């Protein structure tokens, strides 16, 4: 048998089809990561539940939320599924509308009119702290040295104040209103975000692609916001999700202290506050909004946790 | 030559929970006759040999036929082994002749080699000693094997080695024994490399007072 | 050699038969390894070699049952000392593992507890397991550390793991493994993270210990040179299968499987250069476990593939010479008749042949990093300011179109040198000129034109590309930034560059995570070339890649250099690669260039004593090659307080050649000795003496 001669080389065909995935597919693939984790899926469903409820309340509630037309402090019954409050208003309707303030709209006074912006107070607040914190954290982490020390020590000093006190100070100085709450949430959240952003930046700036950008003579801003920030996105978003949870708590707390969002529109915190006085005759008024707050916060935390796990696995 | 140089390192060992039948299989598969039983940290707990598997008539007498099968299938190594306190052991830095003495004194065919009282580091069996014996007399290498008989007095062996030294002959193996049935004489067996028997005979027969008892090329 | 008397058939310590390991993944499972069979006898080292992702480590983990939550042994048997390990309870396995099987990993810190003193960790083995007294345990640990050539063992026992070097950590781990006198030692890339000189010492040690302790060793490595040096028998793994199993001599002299032949052809032989030889990469890449071909796993990459290979999976079978091979046509394949594929060819030397004008001139370049003291005096600024002298007196010239290779152990200043030249760091003294322009300052002192001319290729393929952007964007960015290409033509230019690095148009929109390591590195090269630089600095561009990919990449760099006339500075720790790739070679030690000259001159006498030691340590993928054994003591000294006089005098094995035991080496900085043809050696020893030293490596024909 003669020795086998090598067969002439056939070039290996193209491995993948030309062109990248479409934008929609890319969005879907990043969304699908949620469903790889059971925890994240549960969290996602809980959050979606409240978003759907909120959207629904924009067009329909069982009864007008601010109208006293029932007997006061009713326990749950067939007409008022969740009972009524101390002014005889339908708790279910108020609970539904309360979702809006947190997740879906922000009321801004313009002159003497009030206009509503989309997206809720909690989310605006967190976006604020995200922007501020990321900016400061990136400068501290990338520039290092004196910048790092100054920024981080200022932020540390800031963190030393209890956040409730900070809320109180801000509200005392600026008065009540959605914008003030957003401001307060943004300010108190920023140091935490900055800390995270700084550590991410420190890590990412050791990568070779950052070196490559530097050897191209790119400006510091380009390196920070185009090279580093996109790769810190994942952990920052997960963190932000947790922060939305905290912000909802904070709004609840402020509402409970009577400093929250201005009446008459209900928010969950003030609902608890109002119902608290009648807690011993009927506990339902406290239980429903508390459940709402905690389920939304737990949902967000689960979502964040699940995402974090998946992102970690994904990046490895 | 010390025990640690001639023992088998990393012997096959069994945990006490192993079934006796499994141990028997293990010994058969590895073609070994002794199986040290060790616990945590390779501590010696006992020894299993082929006799361990012999049935004990006393234990079986009270059982009926069906129970015997069950009894046997449940037997574990710890039930059949010789317990550690009845086993002779040896430390790795003793000499092999001491180990051999130990074995002939107790009429046993194997010594577990232990460090720190009871940690098994090897096993020394008759086969290992016979192996060492072959090496000692230079069996594995080719050469001329000569047995020289010499009177038992100082300086006699030196005379022999002086002759070897003059010839620049290499010695592959060496052993001396008191001549059987003849007081006052010793037989020295040496294995010489790189010569033929005629040449060796010619040279060695010149050694005064010594005689060639035996000389052969093929051992 | 004395044949041992027969004592009947010997049972192997480890016998693995038809092993298949599967990992459960989402939507099913994949078989990471299949049909792996081998055995290891007492006192034998069995090497497992192959590219990454071929299942080497999985095999080892299966033996010690460390497969993790989602892995399990699907088929086959693993017999240790005749006992079946599969199906044993966790407790029994744990006991076996503790007492009779030990494992050494690539990263020694995986086996050391960072918060415990080394002595306590080592003694634990004896005191807890064996009930040895503390004093006795200490004595034995010292003895064992001595055994592994640890300097000052008693002091080491009092230290924490982070206080000793990586090579020393690995020795401690080996010593710890041996304290228990295991029957089987599994080593997973134990020397991969170490410097070549340290690696050589650790390999010597392993070989010696195997003899003394009669331990069976399973040695996993991707490095054929290391395997050739230490193993008796070798198994070659490819895509989860053992494709060839042979004695080390047979394997290198007469490889049977086309994959083994391909692997050996990928390696530059030490002494080969680019003018006279070509590396032949294996085309394609290792298929992922989920997507293996139906027939022979190697068939898509095999040059001898036949119809039968695509349909029928070959069995591992024994050839008349004793080698086991998994190939249908092993008998009829003749490697001598192998014809390289058409697109791999010898790169002709650049036209004009010979050095062009000097493009980069470096004279006495220094880089000191200030050291932050921790005492109170330092904090208030009263302490004496101390420096890490990372770079001290680096001098060389690079000519246009040529390649300068830089070698040396880690910590000798190679990377600092490159960073200083490219401007990531400013220098602390000396002169450096690029095309007559001063480049001693950092990037902020340089104008865009100068920045454009100097570009860099990085080491780590996973970090070289920004994961957030597509390949096309990342190659286009330098063109936008420097305006080298008109806006409208950027896309066309990017595609042309992709073509030049042998990547197709379809890579334009891909994200880095969709690329393999070699492909990322190609993109990195394309990006460096995008601004059309005159000088490209390559910092270990191939050292993180598998040999077949490495060969392809080296070929690519050569072609690119020829096409664009680029000058290169090429850092690598692999001396055969540097020899192959470079025209000039500079050997660095502790911030100094100690030996510089044409590549062929560096690798032949006269040697600088340090170069000589490095060459003696290189693992050569040829068991028949003879290497003189020169081992350096200790590690590279600290650059904070470098030795006086000649910086190498603390470790120099050749000081004895000088009168008075080389006292002059401690006192005076050595002179440059000209050995002709531009070869210069920084040493007190006269050239004539150095010239008389025999060559380190002799390859028998």
pLDDT in tens, B134-175: 888 888 888 899 999 999 888 888 888 888 888 888 888 899
Assess whether B21 and B69 both reside in one domain.
yes
Residue range B33-92, pLDDT digits in tens: 899 999 888 889 999 988 887 766 666 667 777 777 777 778 888 888 999 898 999 999
Residue range C511-532, pLDDT digits in tens: 888 888 888 999 999 999 898 8
**Cβ–Cβ under 8 Å, residues C394 and C591:** yes
Ranges assigned E (strand) in C547-635: 567-571, 584-589, 592-598, 626-627
Q: How far is B4 from chain C (nearest CA, A)?
A: 10
Q: Give chain C's mean pLDDT.
A: 86
Q: What is the pLDDT of residue C48?
A: 95
Domain final residue pick, B78, B100, B134? B134
Q: How far is B149 from chain C (nearest CA, A)?
A: 28
Q: What is the pLDDT of residue C679?
A: 92
Assess whether B121 and B155 both reside in one domain.
no
Q: Give chain A's mean pLDDT.
A: 82
Residue range C265-297, pLDDT digits in tens: 888 877 778 877 788 888 887 888 888 888 899
3-state DSSP call for residue C438? strand
CATH number at residue B153: 3.30.70.260
Question: What are B215's strand-pairing partners?
Answer: B146
Burial category of C491 from C-beta neighbours within 10 Å (exposed 0-12, middle 13-18, buried 19 and up): middle
The pairs formed by B26-30 with CB atoms below 8 angstroms and a separation of 24 or more are: B26/C82, B26/C83, B29/C11, B29/C82, B30/C11, B30/C81, B30/C82
The DSSP H or E segment spanning C127 is helix C118-130
Predicted confidence (pLDDT) at residue C392 exceeds the cutoff of 80: yes
Longest dimension (CA), chain A: 102
Residues 6+ apart with CB under 8 A from C92: B15, B17
Residue range C89-124, pLDDT digits in tens: 778 888 787 788 999 988 888 889 999 999 999 998
Look up residue C291 and give its two tokens. Answer: 């997507």
Predicted confidence (pLDDT) at residue A9 exceeds the cutoff of 50: no
**Cβ–Cβ under 8 Å, residues A40 and A34:** yes
Q: What is the pLDDT of residue A21?
A: 52
Question: What residue in A sits closest to C331 (Cα-Cα)?
Answer: A3
Assess whether B150 and B128 both reside in one domain.
no
Pairing of strands B211-216, C14-25: unpaired
Q: Is B131 on the interface with C (CB under 8 A)?
A: yes
Q: A206-210, B11-15, C280-284 — which is least confidently predicted? A: C280-284
Residue count of chain A: 316
Predicted confidence (pLDDT) at residue A11 exceeds the cutoff of 90: no
Assess whether B71 and B44 both reside in one domain.
yes
Q: What is the pLDDT of residue A269?
A: 80
Question: What residue in C sits closest to A205 (Cα-Cα)?
Answer: C463
Assess whether B17 and B124 both reside in one domain.
yes
Q: Where are the alpha helices (DSSP H) in chain A?
A: 23-32, 38-59, 91-99, 121-143, 145-159, 163-174, 178-204, 208-215, 220-222, 229-256, 268-276, 284-315
Count of domains observed in chain A = 1
Question: What are A168's strand-pairing partners?
Answer: none
Q: A125-139, C329-343, C504-518, C611-625 — which is least confidently predicted? A: C329-343
- pTM for the full model? 0.82
Distance of CA C300 to the CA centre of its chain: 27
CATH number at residue B93: 3.10.580.10
Q: What is the pLDDT of residue C36?
A: 92
Average pLDDT over residues C432-448: 87
Domain final residue pick, B77, B100, B134? B134
C-alpha distances (whole Å) from C681 to each of C416, C591, C597, C631 are: 22, 15, 9, 20
Residue A5 forms part of a structural domain: no
Q: What is the pLDDT of residue C355?
A: 59
Residue range A222-246, pLDDT digits in tens: 999 999 999 888 889 889 988 988 8
Q: C86-90, C492-496, C610-614 — which is least confidently predicted? A: C86-90
CATH number at residue A206: 1.10.3720.10
Q: How confident is the model at residue A20 (pLDDT cuts 50, 70, 90)?
A: very low
Longest dimension (CA), chain C: 81
Place of tokens 């040896």: B90
Assess whether B126 and B143 both reside in one domain.
no
3-state DSSP call for residue C351? coil
Q: How far is B52 from chain C (nearest CA, A)?
A: 19
Predicted confidence (pLDDT) at residue A16 exceeds the cutoff of 60: no
Closest CA to C132 of B124, A36, B43, B197: B43
A214–C470 CB contact, under 8 Å: no
**Cβ–Cβ under 8 Å, residues C455 and C528:** yes
Specify the DSSP class assigned to residue B95: B
Starting at the edge strand that comes first in sequence, how are the strands of the sheet with B211-216 ordered? Answer: B170-178, B185-193, B144-151, B211-216
C5–B10 CB contact, under 8 Å: no
Q: Give chain B's mean pLDDT.
A: 87
Task: Please give the residue range of the domain that contains residue B60.
Answer: 3-134
C-alpha distances (whole Å) from A247 to each of A159, A252, C71, C241, C256 are: 16, 8, 42, 55, 68
Question: What residue in C sits closest to A315 (Cα-Cα)?
Answer: C513
Say how far apart CA C473 and CA C491 lie, in whole Å: 9
Say how far apart CA C430 and CA C392 lie, in whole Å: 9
Domains present along chain C, CATH in parentheses: 8-113+180-345 (3.40.50.300), 358-585 (3.40.50.300), 604-698 (no CATH)
Say how far apart CA C140 and CA B178 lie, in whole Å: 42
Residue A40 forms part of a structural domain: no
A208–C443 CB contact, under 8 Å: no
- What is A188-252 written as a DSSP string? HHHHHHHHHHHHHHHHHTTSHHHHHHHHTT--HHHIIIIIIHHHHHHHHHHHHHHHHHHHHHHHH
Q: What is the pLDDT of residue A246?
A: 85
Q: What is the pLDDT of residue A12?
A: 38
Q: What is the pLDDT of residue A104?
A: 82
B30–C11 CB contact, under 8 Å: yes
CB pairs under 8 A between A and C: 98
Task: Please give the residue range of the domain that contains residue A240.
Answer: 118-260
Predicted confidence (pLDDT) at residue A13 exceeds the cutoff of 50: no
Place of tokens 């781990």: C173
Nearest to A214 among C424, C468, C504 (CB): C424
Count of domains observed in chain B = 2
| DSSP tally for chain B: helices H, then strands E | 9, 10
Assess whether B146 and B121 both reside in one domain.
no
Domain final residue pick, B81, B100, B134? B134
Q: How confident is the model at residue C379 (pLDDT cuts 50, 70, 90)?
A: low
Residue range A126-176, pLDDT digits in tens: 999 999 999 999 999 999 889 999 999 999 998 888 888 888 888 888 877
Predicted confidence (pLDDT) at residue C3 exceeds the cutoff of 50: no
Average pLDDT over residues C601-630: 88
Q: How confident is the model at residue C354 (pLDDT cuts 50, 70, 90)?
A: low
Say how far apart CA C472 and CA C347 lie, in whole Å: 28
Q: What is the pLDDT of residue A8?
A: 40
Q: What is the pLDDT of residue A17?
A: 39
Predicted confidence (pLDDT) at residue C250 exceeds the cutoff of 80: yes
Question: What are C25's strand-pairing partners?
Answer: C28
Closest CA to C509 of C472, C477, C479: C472
Q: How confident is the model at residue A314 (pLDDT cuts 50, 70, 90)?
A: low
């Amino acid at each position: 048998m003669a020795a086998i001669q090598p067969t002439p080389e056939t070039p290996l065909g193209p491995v993948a089809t030309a062109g990248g995935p479409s934008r929609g597919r890319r969005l879907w693939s990043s969304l699908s990561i949620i469903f790889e984790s059971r925890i994240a899926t549960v969290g996602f469903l809980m959050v979606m539940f409240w978003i759907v409820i909120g959207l629904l309340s924009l067009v329909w509630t069982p009864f007008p939320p601010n109208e006293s037309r029932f007997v006061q402090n009713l326990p749950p019954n067939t007409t008022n599924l969740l009972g009524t409050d101390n002014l005889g208003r339908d708790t279910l309707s108020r609970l539904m509308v309360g979702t809006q303030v947190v997740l879906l709209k922000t009321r801004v006074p313009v002159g003497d009119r009030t206009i509503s912006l989309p997206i809720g107070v909690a989310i605006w607040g967190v976006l604020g702290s995200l922007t501020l914190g990321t900016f400061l954290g990136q400068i501290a982490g990338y520039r290092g040295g004196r910048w790092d020390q100054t920024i981080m020590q200022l932020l540390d000093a800031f963190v030393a104040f209890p956040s409730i006190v900070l809320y109180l100070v801000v509200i005392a100085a600026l008065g009540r209103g959605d914008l003030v709450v957003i401001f307060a949430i943004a300010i108190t959240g920023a140091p935490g975000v900055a800390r995270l952003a700084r550590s991410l930046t420190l890590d990412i700036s050791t990568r070779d692609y950052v070196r490559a950008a530097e050897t191209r003579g790119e400006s510091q801003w380009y390196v920070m916001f185009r090279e580093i920030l996109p790769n810190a996105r994942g952990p920052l978003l997960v963190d932000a999700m947790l922060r939305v949870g905290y912000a909802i708590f904070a709004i609840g707390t402020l509402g409970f202290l009577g400093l929250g969002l201005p009446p008459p529109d209900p928010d969950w915190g003030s609902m608890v506050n109002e119902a608290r006085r009648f807690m011993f005759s009927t506990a339902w008024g406290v239980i429903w909004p508390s459940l709402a707050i905690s389920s939304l916060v737990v949902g967000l935390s689960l979502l964040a946790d699940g995402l974090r796990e998946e992102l970690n696995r994904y990046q490895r | 030559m010390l025990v640690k140089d001639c023992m088998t390192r990393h012997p096959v060992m069994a945990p006490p929970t192993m079934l006796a039948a499994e141990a028997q299989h293990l010994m058969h598969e590895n073609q070994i006759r002794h199986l040290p039983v060790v616990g945590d940290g390779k501590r010696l707990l006992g020894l299993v040999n082929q006799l361990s598997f012999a049935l004990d008539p006393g234990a079986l007498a009270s059982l009926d036929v069906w129970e015997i099968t069950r009894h046997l299938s449940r037997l574990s190594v710890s039930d059949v082994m010789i317990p550690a306190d009845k086993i002779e052991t040896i430390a790795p830095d003793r000499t092999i002749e001491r180990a051999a003495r130990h074995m002939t004194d107790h009429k046993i065919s194997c010594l577990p080699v232990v460090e720190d009282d009871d940690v098994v580091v090897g096993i020394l069996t008759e086969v290992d000693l016979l192996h060492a014996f072959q090496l000692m007399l230079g069996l594995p290498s080719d050469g001329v094997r000569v047995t020289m008989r010499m009177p038992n007095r100082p300086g006699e062996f030196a005379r022999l080695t002086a002759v070897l030294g003059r010839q620049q002959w290499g010695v592959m193996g060496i052993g001396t024994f008191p001549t059987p049935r003849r007081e006052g004489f010793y037989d020295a067996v040496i294995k010489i490399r790189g010569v033929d028997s005629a040449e060796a005979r010619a040279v060695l027969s010149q050694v005064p007072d010594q005689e060639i008892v035996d000389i052969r090329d093929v051992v | 050699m004395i044949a041992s008397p027969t004592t009947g058939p010997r049972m192997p310590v480890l016998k693995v038969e038809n092993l298949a390991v599967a990992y459960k993944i989402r939507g099913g499972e994949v078989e990471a390894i299949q049909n792996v069979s081998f055995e290891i006898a007492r006192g034998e080292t069995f090497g497992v070699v192959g590219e990454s992702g071929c299942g080497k480590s999985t095999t080892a983990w299966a033996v010690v049952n460390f497969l993790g939550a989602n892995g399990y042994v699907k088929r086959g048997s693993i017999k240790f000392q005749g006992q079946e390990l599969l199906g044993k309870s966790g407790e029994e396995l744990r006991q076996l593992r503790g007492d009779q099987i030990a494992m050494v990993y690539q990263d020694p810190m995986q086996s050391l507890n960072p918060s415990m003193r080394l002595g306590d960790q080592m003694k634990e083995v004896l005191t807890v397991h064996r009930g040895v007294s503390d004093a006795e345990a200490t004595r034995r640990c010292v003895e064992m550390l001595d055994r592994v050539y640890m300097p000052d063992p008693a002091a080491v026992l009092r230290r924490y793991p982070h206080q000793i070097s990586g090579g020393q950590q690995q020795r401690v781990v080996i010593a710890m493994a041996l304290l228990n006198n295991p029957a089987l030692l599994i080593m997973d890339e134990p020397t991969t993270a170490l410097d070549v000189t340290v690696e050589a010492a650790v390999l010597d040690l392993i070989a010696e210990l195997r003899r003394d302790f009669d331990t069976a060793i399973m040695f996993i490595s991707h490095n054929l040179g290391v395997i050739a040096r230490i193993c008796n028998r070798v198994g070659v793994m490819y895509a989860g299968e053992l494709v060839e199993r042979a004695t080390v001599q047979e394997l290198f002299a007469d490889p049977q499987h086309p994959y083994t032949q391909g692997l050996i052809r990928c390696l530059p032989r030490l002494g080969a250069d680019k003018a006279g030889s070509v590396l032949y990469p294996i085309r394609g890449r290792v298929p992922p476990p989920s997507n293996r071909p139906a027939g022979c796993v190697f068939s898509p990459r095999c040059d001898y593939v036949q119809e039968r290979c695509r349909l029928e999976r070959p069995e591992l079978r024994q050839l008349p010479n004793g080698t086991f091979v998994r190939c249908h046509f092993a008998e009829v394949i003749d490697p001598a008749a192998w014809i390289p594929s058409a697109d791999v060819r010898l790169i002709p030397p650049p036209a004009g042949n010979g050095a062009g004008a000097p493009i980069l001139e470096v004279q006495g370049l220094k880089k000191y990093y200030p050291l932050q003291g921790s005492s109170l005096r330092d904090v208030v600024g009263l302490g004496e300011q101390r420096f890490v002298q990372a770079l001290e007196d680096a001098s060389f010239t690079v000519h246009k179109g040529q390649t300068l290779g830089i070698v040396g152990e880690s910590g000798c200043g190679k990377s600092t040198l490159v960073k200083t030249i490219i401007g990531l760091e400013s220098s602390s003294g000396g002169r450096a000129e690029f095309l007559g322009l001063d480049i001693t300052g950092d990037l902020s002192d340089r104008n865009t034109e100068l920045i454009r001319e100097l570009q860099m290729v990085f080491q780590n393929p996973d970090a070289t590309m920004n994961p957030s952007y597509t390949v096309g964007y990342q190659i286009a960015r330098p063109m936008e930034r420097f305006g080298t290409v008109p806006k409208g033509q950027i896309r066309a230019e990017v595609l042309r560059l992709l073509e030049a690095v042998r990547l197709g148009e379809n890579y334009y929109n891909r994200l880095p995570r969709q690329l393999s390591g070699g492909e990322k590195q190609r993109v990195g090269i394309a990006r460096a070339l995008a601004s059309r630089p005159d000088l490209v600095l390559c910092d270990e561009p191939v050292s993180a890649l598998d040999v077949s990919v490495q060969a392809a990449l080296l070929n690519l760099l050569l072609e690119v250099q020829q096409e664009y006339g680029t000058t290169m500075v090429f850092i690598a720790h692999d001396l055969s690669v540097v020899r192959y790739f470079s025209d000039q070679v500079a050997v660095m030690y502790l911030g100094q260039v100690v030996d510089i000259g044409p590549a062929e001159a560096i690798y032949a006498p006269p040697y600088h004593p340090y170069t000589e030691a490095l060459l003696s340590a290189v693992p050569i993928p040829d068991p028949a090659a003879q290497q003189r054994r020169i081992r350096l003591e200790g590690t590279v000294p600290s650059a904070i307080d470098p030795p006086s006089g000649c910086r190498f005098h603390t470790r120099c094995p050749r000081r004895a050649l000088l009168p008075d035991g080389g006292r002059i080496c401690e006192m005076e900085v050595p002179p440059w000795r000209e050995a002709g043809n531009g070869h210069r050696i920084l040493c007190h020893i006269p050239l004539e003496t150095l010239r008389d030293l025999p060559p380190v490596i002799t390859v028998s024909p």
